[in-house]
A and B are shown apart, each in its own frame.
Chain A
């Protein structure tokens, strides 16, 4: 097991390395760089350009060096904790990001928890009561959850909260805590605000999970050993819990690999709509204004989040499913 974990850790490092190259290529794709845009903007506004300052920034980040040298400069700084320079905010990226990363992590973790807690009982119920009214209703709700893109759900909720209660459900904490240091009051406020985005982001993931668990469990329930178990007169609950559920659970756990990227994606756009103080809105503006290093840091962070999530799901699967051979 330990060897398996170590090997998995190593592949994770390699994965992150490849991802970092991809991310770097992507953020460098747009023609020109932030400084050029910045100079042009200043010129268009008729302002004078401080050549020495521009030159200083250009040299510091090696913007006129070839791409791979820029990459090496970036990635060595990155692993040492220097996330680069945000041109737009004129500050180190680490300072700009603040506790956005933590809040993103919290938001995504809460959503994963929500998805599993809700999807598991509903999925089992749907499969064991196939074609009942409850199953039909839940399936329909699930389809709606998939079909309504979560940013639209966020918009609808914003509209209704505005129209019916006259309050805004945007944000992740009460206004008085924004920019304040962490305190118990702030934690409580965040927890109070957290459930709306969690619900919005988790809706489609939950629906998908329910469908998959239902399908997996139904597949298992059709197998002959289940018929045998029933024929032997086993109690229905025991028939379901003993093997089919355990077998159906494996894909359910393995699905975390596809669930997490989906949730992270959803969180980005929902955060932009609901103006949550997470990575989403800032990533959007950073991409639009070509704030290379800021965007790169966010992309790396989001990718890292999913890679670690997959790592955890692999280990959970290895523990749960004895059929998985650890050394192949």
Chain B
């Protein structure tokens, strides 16, 4: 049974079809939620909310785009709203320079790189951080990101550019080795 047929049956309330759609997409949704939140319990709650909302609104899905793209737009919206609610982004508006000040000025080993990377990403403004993760890591297009965030593809491109620039500065200590 192809996805078009599954969505048609899910619109009629067929639970087996809903389960099939869930099985086909749950991994992607879950890991995206985990990537954005960093917590398995939160990723689990958010994933459930995504599918509950998607199945509630499946009547709005017209089938002119892949179901996955439609679902991922819902995912992005639910995940971002969920993260705002749990105030995971409290510190994310801090300027990158502040983050750099609290980090060690000397480079030591790989674990330090991982920490520095996490700090640098989390210090990005929310829009930049989300755009960077969705585009560079999760493979979303600028058009998809713009639709999910309620902005334009141009805004997405600008935010990605800012995010990359800030990350380059924040991780400048490692530049020498990488260039080689």
* Chain B binds chain A: no
